[in-house]
């Protein structure tokens, strides 16, 4: 049975399907994400045709991840079935026992500068990332990244970036047109779009971490201890392993990365301020 593999530096995922339509969609979605050289396998997922459309069978290991208990198994189109596997695989890979330090946030690169944007859901990470990507930055992920702690190299999770429909009013229409027509893109029912970011197999050296605040304010640099305490809640390690383990891991990050907090301001002002960090 045809087998599709994809992943990042830390995990390799697998999908099995006999349906040619699903294979074609999956190859467009997962093809650019090369499986790990040091294989840490997870899966396989299976997608089969059913009377109601396409059924996703999750790996048994997913049962331990309560976050995914209520996900549906039946999908109307191959695109939706593959999307479900795509998102579940990210949750699985960052939650595996012993997974490296990871953050819910965007990761960008320009001229050797690795910039992370972290914040609560709908803090504006994806919109700001797209704006920066249109002005010379390479967007590697807008969702999550993991760190190789020795060299502090950051690697994006293997998932497409996502712009919600609400971001449309803040970005030029030309950006939406370009992103929605990329190979592997998917325009969603609400008008948002999933699209492939730039690819950086060797990761990027993380040099700056910016916490996005929901309150109006300027960019201010954080002391090492403040960066550690403020960023810990955005770490996957915090949610999977608890506070002591996550603080211990973040301690090695906070004294080697410049940390900032940036308040709400017009999008173009945010992009201008962050461009100055390079």
Q: Which CATH number fits domain 102-275: 3.40.50.720, 1.10.10.10, 3.90.1150.10, 3.90.228.20?
A: 3.90.228.20
Closest C-alpha to 145, from 85, 245, 269, 231:
231
Q: Tokens standing for 62? A: 């997913």
With 90 as the cut, is the pLDDT of residue 113 above it? no
Q: Is-contact 267 238, C-beta < 8 A? A: no
CA distance 54 to 81: 7
pLDDT of residue 39: 57
Residue of 46, 162, 173 lying closest to 106 (CA atoms): 162
Q: What is the pLDDT of residue 79?
A: 95
| The two structure tokens encoding residue 4 | 């599709």
Task: Identify which of 139, 92, 100, 86 has the alpha carbon closest to the alpha carbon of residue 116.
Answer: 139
Q: Is 80 helix (H, G, I), strand (E, B) or coil?
A: helix
At 210-246, the pLDDT tens digits run 999 888 889 999 999 899 888 988 888 887 778 888 8
Distances (CA, A) of 74 to 48, 54, 109, 244, 245: 10, 6, 38, 39, 37
pLDDT single digits (tens) 153-206: 999 999 999 998 888 888 888 889 999 999 999 998 888 999 999 988 888 999
Average per-residue pLDDT for the chain: 87
What integer is the mean pLDDT of 249-264? 88
Query: What count of Cα atoms within 13 Å lies in the side-chain half-sphere of residue 223?
Result: 2
Bridge-based pairing of strands 53-57 and 41-50 is antiparallel
Residue 172, CA atoms < 13 Å, CB-side half-sphere: 9
- Determine the Cα–Cα distance for residues 40 and 271; give it in Å rounded to an integer: 37
Other Cβ atoms closer than 10 A to 3: 10
Paired tokens of 277 = 């960090």
Contact between 144 and 5 under an 8 Å Cβ cutoff? The reply is no
Q: According to the model, what pLDDT value does residue 8 have?
A: 87
For residue 36, the tally of other CB atoms under 10 A from its CB is 20
For residue 62, give the DSSP letter.
G
pLDDT above 70 for 64:
no
Backbone angles phi, psi at 92, to 5 degrees: -70, -45
Residues 160, 14: Cα–Cα separation, whole Å:
17
Of the CA atoms within 13 Å of residue 191, those in its CB half-sphere come to: 6
> Which has more confidence, 112 or 155?
155
Domain assignments of the chain as residue spans, ordered by start: 3-95, 102-275
């Amino acid at each position: 049975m045809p087998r599709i593999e994809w992943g990042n530096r830390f995990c390799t995922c697998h999908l099995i399907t006999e349906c040619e339509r699903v294979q074609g969609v999956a190859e467009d979605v997962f093809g650019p994400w090369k499986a790990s050289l040091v294989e840490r396998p997870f899966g396989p997922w299976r997608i089969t045709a059913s009377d109601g459309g396409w059924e996703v069978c999750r790996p048994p290991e997913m049962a331990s991840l309560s976050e995914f208990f209520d996900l549906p198994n039946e999908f109307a189109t191959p695109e939706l079935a593959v999307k479900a596997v795509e998102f579940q695989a990210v949750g699985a890979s960052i939650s595996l026992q012993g997974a490296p330090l990871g953050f819910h946030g965007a990761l960008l690169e320009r001229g050797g500068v690795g910039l992370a944007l972290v914040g609560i859901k709908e803090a504006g990470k994806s919109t700001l990332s797209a704006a920066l990507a249109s002005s010379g930055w390479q967007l590697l992920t807008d969702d999550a990244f993991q760190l190789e702690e020795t060299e502090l190299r950051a690697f994006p999770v293997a998932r497409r970036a996502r712009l919600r429909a609400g971001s449309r009013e803040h970005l030029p229409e030309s950006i939406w047109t370009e992103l929605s027509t990329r190979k592997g893109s998917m325009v969603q029912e609400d008008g948002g779009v999933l699209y492939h970011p730039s690819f950086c197999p060797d990761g990027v050296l993380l040099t700056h971490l910016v916490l996005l605040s929901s309150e109006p304010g300027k960019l201010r640099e954080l002391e090492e201890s403040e960066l550690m305490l403020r960023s810990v809640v955005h770490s996957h390690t915090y949610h999977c392993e608890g506070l002591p383990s996550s603080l211990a891991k973040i301690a090695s990050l906070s004294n080697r990365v410049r940390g900032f907090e940036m308040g709400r301001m017009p999008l173009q002002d945010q992009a201008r301020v962050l461009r100055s960090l390079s």
